[in-house]
Amino acid sequence: MLKKLLVANRGEIAVRIIRAAQDLGIATVAVYSAADAGALHVELADEAVNIGPPAAKKSYLNIEAILTAARETGCDSVHPGYGFLAENAAFSDAVTGAGLVFVGPSGDAIRMMGDKVSARSAAAAAGVPVVPGSAGRVEGLEAGREVLAETGFPVMIKAAAGGGGRGIRIANSFAEFEQAFPQAEAEALAAFGDGGLYMEKVIGKARHVEVQILADGSDAIHCYERECSLQRRRQKVWEEAPSRALSDGLREELCASAVALAKAVKYSGAGTVEYLYDDEADRFYFIEMNTRIQVEHPVTEAITGIDLVAEMLRIAGGEKLRIRQGDVSVKGHAIEVRLNAEDPAKEFAPFPGQVAELRVPGGPGVRFDSMLYQGYQVPPFYDSLLAKLIVHAETREAAIVRLIRALNELKISGLKTTKPLFLALAADPAVRAGDVHTRWLEGWLIENAAASAG
Amino acid sequence: MAQILSPLPGTFYRSASPDQPPYKADGDAVSAGDVIGLIEVMKSFHEVRAETAGKNIRFLADNEEPIMAGAPIADLD
């Protein structure tokens, strides 16, 4: 078992990891930037180390400063959380190279899954269905033309080294393709120093479903799926588990494919295999694997009763998987909404400020993961996520009713938040029916600007 | 003399990306509406534009450093 853990993150996820470590009797060290001296994770950890100025590049992304803090406080392990250095293979290698345990997969596993082309090849080799497209990198325009036979139109041209929606172009015709391909090549080279491209068929109306994995380097299990189709600018805002769109048979097939991939790459720790699910074709396709704990992990914890962060810490400490696949079952339905410091009335403009009054919702089936406290000054330098409200109930319908109840209990004054958006979504007939896809929310926001602004 | 103030709290940048030249160098003339920098607030980037034309811009705010709303970014003649 690990003895002393450095948490290389901030905000709600740092608090979440500190809680899991303390539940297991592991001592904790927080790191913080000059802007976070008054942050909750600093208060809750056993020790805290200032690792630099507010800019993330000089603090939370500063590998040297984090390793120095770990050494000086006598830590034996580092948890990266999500974002910042969580999927940085060099960081995983550096932590291991310093003789510490990295709570997550090896640098090699992160590299393999971080490169979209090698991840897709690994998935295909493990028998996981992938979106029709190029088998790997497309070497030049001529080779690209041949891939069109496989994909048809519209086709997506993506930078192999890209991420976060950057370097993506869509062509609807041969003429558009001829123009877009060289542009995408030049753009990828300029943005990522790597002009490598790959091509994929565009799946029109798709749901985003993803499977939670736990693995110990040899064995792997799944903790069923989450659906995260409600997205704005490719950012998830509302996540739930299980997905109501899947039949039981397809669910088993989907989850088994994620386990096969995790085993094939000898994965260790918690991970998520992401898919697109095409309702009409009733088929799923691999998109990518995230080699970290995800923001929306609590919905899986709610329906399975598994503490995913605690399991990550046990696996990192050298234990074999304690949970057998047959022990994992789904109970009820859970929904998470992301309360961001954004003003829905002003196109979600960021709204850093001070928390004047805070009333946290409670009662049966309600969980509130956050770093907020009364008087907390939200710094403008980092992500806008303030809190995650998670509700759990016997059915999806009951979970939505409970979500509305909890949102009405929640009071955060002094800041603008996305709470009005979720009250409006929870009342919407399409959301209530679960009849959504990944591009649904953006259209809805245009038609319902007033309602979502509260 | 005029002063350009930061409209938002966040991190101030003098160029569009680290490998690009600054929007304006000390001593440059600016026209009304010229972009003179970026403010990053919670991972979103907002352009800072000069409201009036002027000569000999002199930056007071440092690149990639925190800035408060209302703090001076640059002086203009």
- The per-residue pLDDT for A256 is 98
Please answer whether residues A287 and A293 qualify as being in contact, where contact means their C-beta atoms are separated by less than 8 angstroms. no
Residue spans of beta strands (DSSP E) within A160-196: 168-171
Measured CA to CA, the distance from residue A439 to residue A276 in angstroms comes to 12
Residue span of the structural domain in which B43 resides? 2-76
- DSSP one-letter string for A310-359: HHHHHHHTTPPP---GGG----SEEEEEEEESEEGGGTTEE---B--EEE
- The per-residue pLDDT for A185 is 85
CA distance A420 to chain B (A): 20
- The per-residue pLDDT for A135 is 81
Q: Encode chain A (454 residues) as per-residue pLDDT tens digits.
A: 999 999 999 999 999 999 999 999 999 999 999 999 999 999 999 999 999 999 999 999 999 999 999 999 999 999 999 999 999 999 999 999 999 999 999 999 999 998 888 999 999 999 999 988 988 889 889 999 999 998 889 999 988 876 555 668 899 999 999 999 988 888 888 777 778 898 988 888 899 999 999 999 999 999 999 999 999 988 999 999 999 999 999 999 999 999 999 999 999 999 999 999 999 889 999 999 999 999 999 999 999 999 999 999 999 999 999 999 999 999 999 999 999 999 999 899 999 899 999 999 999 999 999 999 999 999 999 999 999 999 999 999 999 999 999 999 999 999 999 999 999 999 999 999 999 999 999 999 999 988 888 7
Q: Do A352 and B9 touch (CB under 8 A)?
A: yes
Residue with tokens 């009849």: A435
Q: Do A380 and B44 touch (CB under 8 A)?
A: no
Q: Is some CB atom of chain B closer than 8 A to the CB atom of A192?
A: no
As given in the structure block, the two tokens for residue A124 are: 């295909």
Residue spans of beta strands (DSSP E) within A64-196: 77-79, 101-102, 155-159, 168-171
CA distance B24 to chain A (A): 22
Q: What angle do CA A275, A281, A285 make, to 5 degrees?
A: 20
Residues 354-393 of A with CB under 8 A from B: 380-384
Q: What is the CA radius of gyration of chain B?
A: 11
Q: Is some CB atom of chain A closer than 8 A to the CB atom of B42?
A: yes
Question: Which residues in chain A are closer than 8 Å to B9, comparing Cβ atoms?
Answer: 352, 380
Structure confidence by residue, pLDDT tens digits, B16-54: 888 889 999 999 999 999 999 999 999 888 999 999 999
Q: Do B43 and A55 touch (CB under 8 A)?
A: no
ipTM above 0.90, yes or no: no
Nearest CA in chain A to B46: A349
Which CATH entry fits the domain spanning A132-201: 3.40.50.300, 3.90.226.10, 3.20.20.70, 3.30.1490.20?
3.30.1490.20
Question: Which residues in chain B are closer than 8 Å to A342, comparing Cβ atoms?
Answer: 42
- The per-residue pLDDT for A166 is 61
CATH, residue B30: 2.40.50.100
Q: Do B42 and A57 touch (CB under 8 A)?
A: no
Mutation site, B40, B42, B65, interface A, largest A CB count within 10 A? B42
What architecture is the A206-452 domain classified under in CATH? 2-Layer Sandwich (3.30)
Measured CA to CA, the distance from residue B43 to residue B22 in angstroms comes to 20
Q: Out of A35, A55, A341, whose CB is closest to B64?
A: A55
Among candidates B31, B33, B25, B30, which has minimal Cα distance to B59? B25
Q: Is some CB atom of chain A closer than 8 A to the CB atom of B64?
A: yes
Tell me how many domains chain B contains.
1
- The per-residue pLDDT for A161 is 75
CATH domain A4-103 topology: Rossmann fold (3.40.50)
Active-site positions of A read: 292
Domain boundary assignment for chain A: 4-103, 132-201, 206-452
Question: Which residues in chain A are closer than 8 Å to B41, comparing Cβ atoms?
Answer: 350, 352, 380
Contacts of A377 (CB under 8 A, 6+ apart): A38, A353, A354, A355
Under DSSP, is residue B44 helix (H, G, I), strand (E, B) or coil? strand
CA distance A38 to chain B (A): 17
DSSP tag of A280: T
Q: Is some CB atom of chain A closer than 8 A to the CB atom of B66?
A: yes
Measured CA to CA, the distance from residue B45 to residue B37 in angstroms comes to 10
Nearest CA in chain B to A83: B43
- The per-residue pLDDT for A397 is 98
CA distance B49 to chain A (A): 18
Q: Do B9 and A54 touch (CB under 8 A)?
A: no
Q: Do B41 and A54 touch (CB under 8 A)?
A: no
